[in-house]
Homo-oligomer: A and B are copies of this chain.
Amino acid sequence: MRRTSFAHWPCSVARTMDLLGDWWTPLVLREAFYGIRQFDAFQASLGIARNTLADRLRRLVDEGLLEKEPYQTEPVRYHYTLTEKGRDFFSVLLAMSRWGDRWLADEAGPPVAHYHDVCGQESHAEVVCAACGEPMTAENTHPRMGPGYPPHLAERPEVRERFSS
């Protein structure tokens, strides 16, 4: 059964999740960031069923996160490489990784560290305000109706309530 579609909700979290489809997709992207480019390499690394992998790769190509390019003929074989849209998803994986490192790691510590070329340190991600650089937290950040909020929903009482803080 096709699950509920979130693609048209006025929420970028819901739209992002709709595009991803399921949890394999971020892991396929993670592998692409690790430098994996070939179907068989994704398959070996993730232990994912071939038909599931084919479906997730097709989706990522259709949605413009990956590009599929032939690198060999007879037989034709393809590389999957990240587009700019795909590469930008790194920030979401970093934020997930930080949360998991903080809350799900065992006593030994995080399984993977992130070396930042800019400062030469093993570090982790922090989610800050693009305007002032200070952390954005649930306590200091409030949702406002954005320019793309659907006008026909904007006057509903429950929607007004939602954005009243």
Residues of A within 8 A of B (CB): 3-4, 6, 10-20, 22-23, 26-27, 30, 33-35, 45, 47-48, 82, 85, 87-106, 108-119, 121-134, 136-150, 158, 162, 165
Residue pair A128, B128 in contact (C-beta under 8 Å): yes
A119 & B129 in contact (Cβ 8 Å cutoff): yes
- Whether A13 contacts B34 in the complex (CB less than 8 A), given A103-B85, A148-B109, comes out as no
Q: Which of B34, B89, B115, B136 contacts A99 (CB 8 A)?
A: B89
CA A147 to CA B116, docked complex, whole Å: 17
Report yes or no: A146 in contact with B34, Cβ–Cβ below 8 A: no
Decide: A123 and B114 in contact? CB cutoff 8 A.
no
Q: Smallest Cβ distance from A116 to chain B, in angstroms?
A: 5
Inter-chain contact A23/B22, CB cutoff 8 Å: yes
Known A-B contacts A88-B99, A96-B16; the reply to A143 vs B114 at CB < 8 A is: yes
CA distance A137 to B47 in the complex (A): 27
